[in-house]
Amino acid sequence: MTTSDLVEDAAGHPQLAKLEQNMARIEALTQRVMAAFAHKRHVPEALQGPSQELYMKAAMAYWNEAAANPAKLFEQQIAYWGKTLTHFAEAQAALAKGTLEAPEDHTPEDRRFSNPMWKTNPYFNMIKQQYLINSEALAKGVEEIEGISDLERKRLKYFGAQVVDMMCPTNFLPTNPDALERAIETEGQSLIDGLENLVRDLEAHDGELVVSLADGSAFKLGENIGTSKGEVVFRNHMFELIQYTPTTDQVRDIPIVLFPPWINKFYILDLKEKNSLVKWIVDQGYTLFIVSWVNPGPAMRDTSLNDYIEDGYRTAMREVKSICGTETINAVGYCIAGTTLSLTLSRMKQQGDTSVGSATFFTTLTDFSDQGEFSVFLTDDFVDGIEAEVNRTGVLESFYMARTFSYLRSRDLIYQPAIKSYMMGETPPAFDLLYWNGDGTNLPAKMAVEYLRGLCQKNKFADGGFELAGDVLKIDEVDVPLCAIACETDHIAAWHASYAGVQQMGSKDKTFILSESGHIAGIVNPPSKGKYGHYTNPDMSGSADAWKAGAVRNDGSWWPRWGAWLAERSGEMVPARTPGDSTHPVLCSAPGTYVAAAPLEGE
């Protein structure tokens, strides 16, 4: 029987007819899904998961332990069997009452299972409880494996958890009550909309499943996002330099040049007026410049960290000094841009260049001895794979970085958005932060390998010195007055590691601030929100935990505290500066052209 036959049979039942029509549309969309998968991009095996060596070593350790201590293996299995049989018996007993009630549920709260049916419906409750029992057994089994290193255990726990999260019953239509209820309510329209969302995402990413987190049509740079007034006053092959239009009659003499990470784009600091750090800095009476990095393509395969330092940082500093007529500037580096700012300051120290009067570091790592959650991706199996891929293509594509960041928070950045978009048929939200998160950039091949090998893996900057273009750059040569802001729940640049790096710097004038929240929300935290507080403690002589134990918690944003710190190092008030000068004509208005340009092509 064909779909048309079913529709004809359902002619007397409007709701059934509508459902069958939607089923026919599903068939057509399914063909588009299969066509998109047929053109799926090639992802090297080395970048799809850890090497088989990790699993083989874990398996050998497990069976060796089973042979040496079989009682432990039986204890684990019996505990698992016991919980499973108890759960089954309780479910059977509840059903035997004839009331179709679920058994008593003592499982912990989990927002994935917020629908009441997970507790009240015996079918869904049975599935949920068994899933959680299975998850617990797997986690405990990994935790108790002996004969492997701490890093290997950490990697097994991480990748094991990824498998467990992937198999969560909420990720499948037949075992997701929210999606099933929505499908019935909409006569199947939610499934149609979901498939259309799925097809759109697959076709937009060469058959690779990349979940859209935000409605891309809702934002346009310079119109409703990245709208602070300014002008591009300098451009080279590495960056555009944006000088923002003053909003006060007078400004501090010493200008600020802010270096954002080139893994993402600068407008995270200028999403919209009410949470724009750019606008806030300008409103405090500062001349602010921001570097907008070019998005590298294969033509930039040989661009190195040294190029970022010389053609990026030091060139920007030189042009800012020229425009403002000052001998010094105040520099700010965010994330990897803070790491590279510290390398730049080491070289400048060696060369006697005193252009930087103070440095501010946002969520910056300079000591990589504690790699945090990223340690699972920084072993040779992954880094070897990355090196091979960038040597082939010329760049580390934003696709790989975005996927890595997403899997560090897979429930929030993969599975929940996928459920809402593909099973519930919801349109991705018009959320500026998520829109920015999806607007990634590539990394040049040479620079990516230098960063991963020399800094992340070998920790050369903090341990012996990082060799770069004939220089040996060292962390203790960073001796300018500095202020470092770390974030308490940052999963990218763990605050303990950030503190350790600042502690080793040679500056006599150090301020360390710990903001509540994470890598983005802890930085983009305007005073008007009154949301996240911050910790301060002038004593950095002890460990990070000792610093936190002795710190004072302060309500509200750290921005005003930093502003007061910066004011003391920014000179007297002078008449406000309009963007550019006679030798730096305005090239275009902010946010510039590089922020929206496609990657540079070339061999």
Among the listed residues 372, 311, 375, the one whose alpha carbon sits nearest the alpha carbon of residue 344? 311
Helix axis angle, 122-143 to 70-96, nearest 10°: 170
Other C-beta atoms closer than 10 Å to the C-beta of 220 total: 12
Distance CA 172, CA 179 (A): 9
Strands (E), 264-344: 288-293, 329-334
**304-307: long-range contacts at Cβ-Cβ below 8 A with a sequence spacing of 24 or more?**
304/444, 304/446, 304/447, 304/450, 304/468, 304/469, 305/340, 305/343, 305/447, 305/450, 305/451, 305/468, 306/468, 306/469, 307/238, 307/447
Distance CA 46, CA 145 (A): 25
Longest Cα separation, the chain? 88
Residues 6+ apart with CB under 8 A from 160: 138, 139, 142
Our answer to whether residue 168 is catalytic in this structure is no
Helix segments in 459-558, DSSP class H: 495-504, 544-549
Distance of CA 271 to the CA centre of its chain: 16
Distance CA 32, CA 484 (A): 50
- Contact in structure between 340 and 309 (CB atoms under 8 Å): yes
Provide the terminal-to-terminal Cα distance of the chain, rounded to the nearest Å.
Answer: 55
Among the listed residues 338, 260, 280, 335, the one whose alpha carbon sits nearest the alpha carbon of residue 525? 280
Could you tell me the sign of the dihedral formed by the alpha carbons of 397, 401, 406, 407, in that order?
A: positive
Selected catalytic residue, list 168, 324, 335, 487: 335
Classified as helix, coil or strand, 400 is: helix
Return the percent helix, strand and coil in the chain, to nearest 5: 50, 10, 35
- Contact in structure between 367 and 497 (CB atoms under 8 Å): yes
Among the listed residues 256, 464, 494, the one whose alpha carbon sits nearest the alpha carbon of residue 365? 494
What's at 135, amino acid-wise?
S
Residues annotated as part of the active site:
335
